[in-house]
Chains A and B, each alone.
Chain A
């Protein structure tokens, strides 16, 4: 009976990031409550313990705002982390170009200066929005039940993350274009640093976009949508 109850609760919790911990806590609670009951009538004791614990759907509904907050904070962390890693990779590559004394060919310089401008504005726009969205999600406490005000708040937070991810993607695309322009026609070991750093940047932006899309997809309401 308890196993069936736990399965219902697991299903009701869905893929809450903390569901494994919640289930472990609940299992411990039910076993302790059962130990305090009359062991001669185990079936009746299990029924009483489950009744006292409450309806799994109602309990899962009370965890819903917490789950939404966890997904939203995870998205915020992913965007911030991606921004920091991308900045480190950009700086590392520029430093490496100085060490190996790679310079651009004259015809590519005009195009590169335009790309650098796009890259710079896109990156700082993304960084600004990422910090603003992190501050925005940190300031509001999680309500006991999912209400319209909190839903709107999470929708706005998801919108901010999408807004940060788009220019960050543009910045990474610009970095890729600049790296292609910088790379010599014959690849050598010295090209390893730009290639690896660029791969890390692409991995970061893809991971951040996936986490943001996942979080945005959980926001209740017809406006919920992923980053594209």
Chain B
């Protein structure tokens, strides 16, 4: 089943804004499976969200640079098989801790929202 896509169409404005609000957590989560360059991070976000998260691809780079400046990511330049120089990002120990914290906050928040909406799964965070 194709998930609803967030972020690109006019009608998806609110969802797009919601997505931008959680972009740091999304990027950290995408990098939790291992080091990756910008394009691979976007592919990982699309894959793990079942194609639901579809932000303008350029949005990812300011987020990666900001997270690196905050010490949550580190990066190194490597030469790809194609011969192109590319920057590969890795989660740091602080980045791992930040992801755990944000995930806990998100679980609490989503459980509370489910409770408000009368979802029977409320109070049972995933």
- Bitwise, B67-83 to A at CB < 8 A (1) or not (0) is 00110000000001010
Contacts of A32 in B (CB 8 A): 39, 82, 84
For B24, B65, B82, the residue with the greatest tally of chain A CB atoms inside 10 Å of its CB is B65
Find B61's partner among A31, A59, A141, A144 (CB 8 Å cutoff): A59
The answer to whether B58 touches A59, judged by C-beta atoms less than 8 angstroms apart, is yes
The answer to whether B63 touches A28, judged by C-beta atoms less than 8 angstroms apart, is no
CA distance A65 to B69 in the complex (A): 11
The answer to whether B59 touches A59, judged by C-beta atoms less than 8 angstroms apart, is yes
Find A33's partner among B39, B80, B84 (CB 8 Å cutoff): B39
The answer to whether B70 touches A62, judged by C-beta atoms less than 8 angstroms apart, is no
Find A29's partner among B23, B24, B57 (CB 8 Å cutoff): B57
The answer to whether B39 touches A144, judged by C-beta atoms less than 8 angstroms apart, is no
The answer to whether B87 touches A21, judged by C-beta atoms less than 8 angstroms apart, is yes
Q: Does B20 contact A (CB under 8 A)?
A: yes
Chain B min CB distance to A221 (Å): 22
- Bitwise, A1-27 to B at CB < 8 A (1) or not (0) is 000000000000000001001101111
Contacts of B20 in A (CB 8 A): 144
Interface residues of A in 62-87 (CB under 8 A from B): 62-63, 65-66, 69
Chain A residues near B (Cβ < 8 Å):
18, 21-22, 24-29, 31-33, 35, 52-56, 58-59, 62-63, 65-66, 69, 141-142, 144
Chain B residue at minimum C-beta to C-beta distance from A66: B65
The answer to whether B62 touches A62, judged by C-beta atoms less than 8 angstroms apart, is yes
Q: What are some 7 contacts across the A-B interface (CB < 8 A)?
A: A24-B85, A26-B58, A28-B37, A32-B82, A56-B58, A59-B62, A142-B70
Contacts of B87 in A (CB 8 A): 21, 24-25, 28
Contacts of A22 in B (CB 8 A): 61, 65
Find A53's partner among B37, B57, B66 (CB 8 Å cutoff): B57
* Number of residues from B at the complex interface, CB < 8 A: 23
The answer to whether B70 touches A26, judged by C-beta atoms less than 8 angstroms apart, is no
The answer to whether B57 touches A54, judged by C-beta atoms less than 8 angstroms apart, is yes
The answer to whether B65 touches A63, judged by C-beta atoms less than 8 angstroms apart, is yes
Contacts of B59 in A (CB 8 A): 54, 59, 62
CA distance A124 to B23 in the complex (A): 44
Contacts of A66 in B (CB 8 A): 62, 65-66, 69
Could you list 9 further interchain pairs (A-B, Cβ under 8 angstroms) beyond the known A22-B65, A35-B82, A144-B63?
Answer: A28-B84, A31-B82, A32-B82, A32-B84, A53-B56, A58-B56, A59-B58, A62-B59, A66-B66
Q: Does B38 contact A (CB under 8 A)?
A: yes
Chain B min CB distance to A10 (Å): 14
Q: Does B47 contact A (CB under 8 A)?
A: no
CA distance A116 to B84 in the complex (A): 58
The answer to whether B69 touches A52, judged by C-beta atoms less than 8 angstroms apart, is no
The answer to whether B23 touches A54, judged by C-beta atoms less than 8 angstroms apart, is no
CA distance A69 to B62 in the complex (A): 13
Chain A residue at minimum C-beta to C-beta distance from B24: A144
The answer to whether B39 touches A142, judged by C-beta atoms less than 8 angstroms apart, is no
A-B residue pairs, 10 tightest by C-beta: A54-B56, A62-B62, A54-B58, A59-B58, A53-B58, A28-B86, A32-B39, A53-B57, A29-B39, A28-B84
